Amino acid sequence: MTLWGGRFSGETDKVMRRFSDSIGFDRRLFGADIEGSMAYAAALQRAGILTSAEKNSLVEGLLAVRAEFEAGTFEVQASDEDIHTAVERRLGEMAGPVAGKLHTGRSRNDQVATDLRLYLLGEMALLKQAVSALQAAIVDKAGAHLDVIMPGYTHLQPAQPLLFSHWLLSAFWKLQRDQDRLDGVRERTSVLPLGAGALAGNPFGLDRQALAADLGFERIAENSVDAVADRDFVVEFLGWAALLQVHLSSLAEDLILWSSREFGFVELDEAYATGSSLMPQKKNPDSLELLRGKSGRMLGHLVGLLTVLKGLPSTYNKDLQEDKEAVFDALDTLAIELEVATGAIRTLQIHPGRMAAALDPSMLATDLADYLVRRGIPFRQAHHLAGAAVQRAEALGLCLSELDLAEYQAIHPAFEADVSDVFDFQRSVEMRDTSGGTAPAAVRAQIKEAKAILARQGEAAAANPS
């Protein structure tokens, strides 16, 4: 029997049931659903709707139902539409008729919104830790290879020398912005819809503030019509996830390129690569390719939910049930992606010799212009003169460092014998020692700050276990 069978005399079509039931995917909300119901029972007691004996038997029954879910012995029945009806049905079997009082003043509309928020709050705490683990792998790797210089690229054209660690740490800061953004999403998710009823509010004088405090929500939703339909927190979460995904994907893309034979700057550990069924020589970066490829579904979830929400009439509509699979898939996808990315970075091999071999003196043309700037020549002119040196070297079939002093002085008399000092990649990176630059001293400072952030995040996680 369904929960709403009273006004119906006919059966729901079988295919229609399969189409509309969500128990096939929302079972994982059982913990949040039961937690929400225990708090709701306490609120009903405080409002004088339940005796304390009734409340206690409901709580005991709910704990027994939860134990079945946790033990994997919960049996879904054909009549269970969704996790809410399944829990209530089983509660009735275990606690008896008092179970019929639990739903007083509550609707699945405020219930499901509460469940999803509670569930997501728990998952966000886990995600923060997973992002921190990846950040820690990045910082450790960067700290272990501080002496490695590589070509830096813009437009994928050789640009200026960089410390490999400096490039790698760029991913740390993107992830740090993701951490900060998630705090904001969490704040706006921590708003209690329960007590909104179906759409009009609760007629039994429930103390919603106490209910919020019981469940760990920071505030209560101010408007019942909004509360049952508000999925902004889901959109924000999926938007957050999409941007994290983009960060993972672009990190993966650099590493895919650099692990190609043509670059050979890095090499994935065998644990994160696969072979070809046909070509024996292949070592394919599948882990990285999937970190890039998962972007399709992750960005899709965001656009998918926005499309569901666009043009919905106010309050609850069944369309909203479509929010869950997107959230669950985004969570599952990110969880495994973050773990794989952490392992791939931790085990990544670095080939400093290949990076050094790819450095070309033309990447020091900017340093050559800077040399002139230090001799009082305006940068625009210096840039032009360094360009002339590049052109002259090319015409003679030489590299920039092989042009002799006479050639340089023919371009401009400000060039002196010490121009040869410019052609030193180590010196080039060392010069960029303003904070945020690639000089080893600046990168060491960066690592120090990153480590302090990770330590704070670790302490916060220990203080607020999910």
Binding site for ligand ARG (CB under 6 A): 22, 26, 82, 108-109, 112, 316, 318, 320-321, 324
* Cβ nearer to ligand ARG, comparing 57 with 107: 107
Report the C-alpha gap between 150 and 164 in whole angstroms.
6
Residue 4 Cβ vs ligand ARG, minimum distance, rounded to whole Å: 8
Q: Which is nearer to ligand ARG, 22 or 457 (CB)?
A: 22
Can you read off the two tokens belonging to residue 55? 């409340």
Nearer of residues 83 and 139 to ligand ARG, judged by Cβ: 83
DSSP 350: E
**Residue 124 Cβ vs ligand ARG, minimum distance, rounded to whole Å:** 20
CB 37, min distance to ligand ARG, A: 14
Calculate the alpha carbon distances from 105 to 40, 62, 63, 320 in Å: 10, 18, 22, 21
- Of these residues, 20, 276, 314, 466, which one is catalytic? 276
Q: Is 412 a catalytic residue?
A: no
Q: What is the DSSP string of 201-245?
A: --TT---HHHHHHHHT-SEE-S-HHHHHH--HHHHHHHHHHHHHH
Longest dimension (CA), the chain: 101
Q: Is 88 helix (H, G, I), strand (E, B) or coil?
A: helix
Whose tokens are 């302090």? That residue is 452
In the complex, the smallest distance separating the C-beta of residue 324 from ligand ARG, rounded to whole angstroms, is: 6
Token pair in block for residue 465 = 């276990």
Judged by beta carbon, residue 66 or residue 324, the one nearer ligand ARG is: 324
CB under 8 Å to 458, separation ≥6 — which residues?
Answer: 132
Shortest Å distance, C-beta 316 to ligand ARG: 5
Q: SS3 string of 439-463?
A: CHHHHHHHHHHHHHHHHHHHHHHHH
Nearer to ligand ARG, 82 or 236 (CB): 82
**Residue 276 designated active-site:** yes
Query: Which residue numbers are catalytic?
Result: 155, 276
